[in-house]
Structure 1
Amino acid sequence: MDIPIATGLALGAAADLLLADPRRAHPVAGFGAVAGALEHRIWRDSRAVGAGHALGLTAAASGLGVLLDRGTRRRPAARTLVTAAATWTVLGGTSLGRAAGVMRTALDAGDLPAGRAALPSLAGRDPRSLDGDGLARATVESVAENTSDAAVAPLFWGAAAGLPGLLGYRAVNTLDAMVGHRSPRYERFGWAAARLDDLANWLPARLTAALTVACAPLVGGSAPGALRTWLRDGPAHPSPNSGRCEAATAGALGVRLGGRNVYGSRVEVRPLLGAAGRAPTPADIGAAVRLSRAVWLGAAGLAVAARLLRTRS
């Protein structure tokens, strides 16, 4: 049994649930600043250089986790507190729900400008041409996708690899958000960051979909619908991971996700997920947030249990 790590994961998850992200001097923002400064110095239109950037920074974050792990191995109280702080730092489940809540408030009030202003904190698509239905769909999709990225995946890697897993995963995901998207600048430089993120999220995304099926009845959703839509529609999505999470959520809530998305000058037409469902409404944002919370808290419980069952090395 690894009680210090298990307790730290539980305390960190509780801190995120009660407090959301740290408001000042967020370590992830600091990591992003370092990554951005390094990119500015070394950027080349090269996969090899981009791979060095992604792998080097991920190794540095994971290495810090190894040092913290070794330094606290013989001090259970310190090990628990460091793990709790790291878990709180890398989780974003409650902040995700709060950002979605801001969108719902704006849409309930019929305030489209406020809703459009709130979208960049949730999704990268262009909000200028979106109406209320489009903003609601974008929000539900973002909550579904980011439940895995912001909460389930960090907990998965914390359970699997302790402090190095927590810090290494957050580094991978942050780098993907910074350079892993499609653009002329990052098409080659960001390739490795995007592929590394795909790999790190492959199992957590499927765990998220499975937990969505299990938790759907808790929010008045359909477990059979979630399972059916996940298996039928998830593989059609261009992402190997987020499509599974979005499809399961679509089936759970009985809504239709996917379709035309605009990202600046780029337009993507994505396959429909839950094509027989209805268009999402602001009320579905609330249901998606409640489902997301149930899913990531379930993942926290599994992570703690897995660490308690683990033979301490």
Structure 2
Amino acid sequence: MRPDPIAAGLLVGYAADLAFGDPRRGHPVAGFGNAAAALEQRTYAPHRSRGVLHEAVLVGGVVVLGGAAARVRPQVPVVALATWTVLGGRSLLREAAAMHDLLARDDLAGARVRIRHLVGRDSSQLSPAELARACIESVAENGADAVVSPLFWGAIAGVPGLIGYRAVNTLDAMIGHRSVRYREFGWAAARLDDVANWVPARLTVLSIALATGSPAAARRVLHVVRRDAPAHPSPNAGPVEAAFAAALGRRLGGRNTYRGVTDDRGTLGDGPDVDVEDIDAAARLHHRTAAIALALVVGGRLVTRAARRRMRRRS
């Protein structure tokens, strides 16, 4: 059997992200964001139909580009490059390590500024414990969004899946929030991101449960997710953050303030509130979770591919 170029490319691209992180300059995602902002000047209106048009043009254009890239041979380097480009695991953990160092040095002012690289909540009045919680919740949620989800869509659809998903997720970050400007225009971006992340978020929960290394602990993770995730306003961040809380044996969630509006995220998990030392534990959990998710999506692709070949031989 010939090696599967998409599976191989995902593995190489994942390793590249671990080794090098995001490109420091000329990142294609940043270029896409600039193009989206420029297009918004022409498409914006406070109506859902305009947001649907904006989403369709940008995501559709990226998927078409990905389809063209998928015809380039050899395919392994193309998939690997796309995977490296869209993954954000190394950069996420770099920010978490920086937050740990700032809080460990009692640099509260620096930590309040640095956390803005990870979360959109107002940070000017956050305590050290609240900053640690914000950091760990970001590691949980963005570990799903920036690692597991692109790997999942890459395994499903190759290069179009990888860069198409990153376009969806980037647009949600840009216009998917409930501000006055984007309440209607960003509706399509937010809903499509919810749909794109629904299955990967549940795959992340499964990976977190397996990462505990104990059947009893895994069952506890699944129990806490069923019990606590519905209180979270996000259908995807809620299960992932609840699973992280259970795996760490800590409590996440609570009230956050975004642009002057307070949002109650519910109580996720049991045990004490997180503190600065839990950031390192969260980073280690992310490493295990991402590796397990990679194994699951690549293994699932290879098993499906083998099954299809057997069916073709029988027909």
Question: What band does the TM-score fall into relative to the shorter chain?
Answer: over 0.9
Please state how far the C-alpha of 1:98 moved relative to its aligned partner: 0.9
* Counterpart residue number, 1:42: 43
**Equivalents in 1 of 2:181, 2:282: separation in Å?**
34
Residues 161-200 of structure 1: pairs in structure 2 closer than 5 A: 161-200=157-196
The amino acid that maps onto 2:287 is R
Residues 1-313 of structure 1: pairs in structure 2 closer than 5 A: 3-70=4-71, 72=72, 75=73, 78-217=74-213, 222-274=217-269, 276-309=270-303, 310=305, 311=308
Please state how far the C-alpha of 1:216 moved relative to its aligned partner: 2.0
1:9–1:303 Cα contact (<8 Å) kept: no
2:194–2:236 Cα contact (<8 Å) kept: yes
**Equivalents in 1 of 2:264, 2:237: separation in Å?**
15
Gap change, CA 1:234 and 1:98, over 3 Å in 2? same
1:258–1:272 Cα contact (<8 Å) kept: yes
**Equivalents in 2 of 1:291, 1:256: separation in Å?**
15
The amino acid that maps onto 1:115 is A
The amino acid that maps onto 2:284 is R
The amino acid that maps onto 1:9 is L
1:4–1:79 Cα contact (<8 Å) kept: yes
Please state how far the C-alpha of 1:223 moved relative to its aligned partner: 2.6
Q: Secondary structure at the match of 2:45?
A: coil
Please state how far the C-alpha of 1:2 moved relative to its aligned partner: 5.5
Deviations 1:198-245 (A, max 9, x none): 000000000001100110239xx9433322211211122110100000
**Equivalents in 1 of 2:107, 2:217: separation in Å?**
31
The amino acid that maps onto 1:149 is D
**Equivalents in 2 of 1:20, 1:261: separation in Å?**
29
2:133–2:252 Cα contact (<8 Å) kept: yes
Greater shift, 28-37 or 295-304, is seen at 295-304
Deviations 1:106-132 (A, max 9, x none): 111111011111111110001101010
Deviations 1:22-48 (A, max 9, x none): 111100000110001000222100100
Question: Structure 2: which 5+ residue stretches go unaligned?
Answer: none
**Equivalents in 1 of 2:282, 2:133: separation in Å?**
11
The amino acid that maps onto 1:29 is A
Deviations 1:283-302 (A, max 9, x none): 11111111111111222222
2:232–2:264 Cα contact (<8 Å) kept: no
The amino acid that maps onto 1:69 is A
**Equivalents in 2 of 1:88, 1:248: separation in Å?**
26
**Equivalents in 2 of 1:266, 1:234: separation in Å?**
21
Please state how far the C-alpha of 1:195 moved relative to its aligned partner: 0.1
**Equivalents in 2 of 1:226, 1:109: separation in Å?**
32
1:21–1:92 Cα contact (<8 Å) kept: yes
The amino acid that maps onto 1:141 is E
Q: Which has the higher contact order (CA 8 A, sep 6+)?
A: 1
RMSD: 1.6
| TM-score after normalising by structure 2 | 0.93
2:122–2:258 Cα contact (<8 Å) kept: yes
Aligned length: 305
**Equivalents in 1 of 2:24, 2:3: separation in Å?**
30
**Equivalents in 2 of 1:147, 1:242: separation in Å?**
10
Q: Secondary structure at the match of 1:217?
A: coil
Q: Secondary structure at the match of 1:182?
A: coil
The amino acid that maps onto 2:256 is N
**Equivalents in 1 of 2:160, 2:289: separation in Å?**
23
**Equivalents in 2 of 1:60, 1:247: separation in Å?**
35
Q: Secondary structure at the match of 2:184?
A: helix
2:119–2:138 Cα contact (<8 Å) kept: yes
Q: Secondary structure at the match of 1:282?
A: coil
